[in-house]
Structures are given as structure tokens and as C-alpha cells.
């Protein structure tokens, strides 16, 4: 839970508060299955009284562990996600089913930061743009151990065809 006191900004329309936070993945309740975060999560942004809702805007940054889709090596990368979330006062009829609500003077922004980070995570990542991947013949990581295997004939479609022809 990361509670922000919004008593001040609720007093005036377009009242706004600058937020600079550094929190742990535990405080954000990010489970390693969702995203492996290394070190603190940083958030900078604002929360603004927009009349009927409070508007949370900003950027969340964390160092995360990723696995390269080509060579399967683990590496760390800095993930930055935009945060844009509306908070409705408890008891009001929210228009969206998954709307976030707040009660009294406190807004819990943990869910918004967590969701933004998890959703920003790309499905496929490479450790580097020109990652050479694993050798399909000997299995070596070709970034670390360049091998001399002949991989030209190893198009999987052709090898499957060859298997068929053998029968």
C-alpha cells in the first residue's frame, strides 16, 4: 500500500500535488511471477483534483529481470511506464467496472503503479538487438561461444520434409 494524503488538493478545484516516491516491490505487491523487479521502484508525477475524480499522472521506473527470447540468458533492463489513472470517491456511481476508488483523504496508488509496470512489460525481449541466439546444432550461446557448425541446411521446414522423405 502506498497511501497519499489528498486532503489539501481536495479543497480546491485543480488543486495538485507533486509526487516523488521510491518504494520497494513488496510495497507495490508485485509478485515475481508477474514481474521480477530488482531494487526500488521510482515514481514521479502528480495527483490532481479534476472535480469529480482525482487524476494520477506520471512515470514509474524500475529495473527488471528479463529473459532473452533468442539466447535464453537472463538480463536486467530499465522499464519505464506511463501512469494515468482516475480515482472516484467511494460511494459514487463509477462509470467503469474496474474503476479505482478512494475513501476520505487517502488514495492508495500501489495498484496503479503495479499494473502500469506489469502491462508495460513486452512479451518478447532480446538481450541486445543483434543477439546471435543459440546454435541449433550444438546449442551453444553464439554470443559467448561462436561455433563453426553448419546451420545453412537446418531450416526446420526442410528438415521435417527430409524426415518424411526418409520413411
What does the binding site for Zn ion look like in residue numbers (CB under 5 A)? 68, 70-71, 127, 131, 135, 137-138, 147, 149
Rounded to the nearest 5 degrees, what angle is found at the Cα of 163, between the Cα atoms of 160 and 167? 145
The least distance separating Zn ion from the CB of residue 59, rounded to whole angstroms, comes to 27
- Closest to Zn ion by CB, 70 vs 114, is 70
Cβ neighbours, 10 Å, residue 92: 11
The least distance separating Zn ion from the CB of residue 100, rounded to whole angstroms, comes to 37
- Closest to Zn ion by CB, 28 vs 131, is 131
- Closest to Zn ion by CB, 64 vs 127, is 127
- Closest to Zn ion by CB, 13 vs 154, is 154
DSSP 105-159: TEEE-HHHHHHHHHHHS-SS--SSTT---B-TTT--BTTTS------TT--HHHH
CB 117 within 8 A of CB 65: no
The least distance separating Zn ion from the CB of residue 152, rounded to whole angstroms, comes to 12
Q: Is 24 helix (H, G, I), strand (E, B) or coil?
A: coil
The least distance separating Zn ion from the CB of residue 145, rounded to whole angstroms, comes to 8
Amino acid at each position: 500500500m502506498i497511501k497519499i494524503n489528498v486532503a489539501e488538493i481536495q479543497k480546491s478545484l485543480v488543486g495538485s500535488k507533486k509526487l516523488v516516491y521510491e518504494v520497494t516491490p513488496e510495497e507495490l505487491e508485485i509478485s515475481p511471477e508477474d514481474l521480477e523487479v530488482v531494487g526500488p521502484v521510482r515514481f514521479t508525477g502528480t495527483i490532481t483534483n479534476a472535480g469529480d475524480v482525482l487524476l494520477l499522472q506520471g512515470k514509474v521506473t524500475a529495473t527488471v529481470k528479463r529473459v532473452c527470447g533468442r539466447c535464453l540468458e537472463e538480463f536486467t533492463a530499465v522499464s519505464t511506464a506511463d501512469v494515468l489513472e482516475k480515482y472516484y470517491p467511494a460511494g459514487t456511481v463509477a462509470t467503469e467496472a474496474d474503476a479505482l476508488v478512494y475513501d476520505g483523504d487517502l488514495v492508495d496508488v500501489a495498484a496503479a503503479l503495479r499494473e502500469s509496470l506489469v502491462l508495460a512489460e513486452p512479451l518478447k525481449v532480446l538481450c541486445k538487438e543483434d543477439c546471435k541466439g543459440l546454435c541449433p546444432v550444438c546449442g551453444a550461446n553464439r554470443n559467448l561461444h561462436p561455433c563453426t557448425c553448419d546451420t545453412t541446411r537446418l531450416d526446420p521446414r526442410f528438415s521435417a520434409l527430409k524426415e518424411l522423405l526418409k520413411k
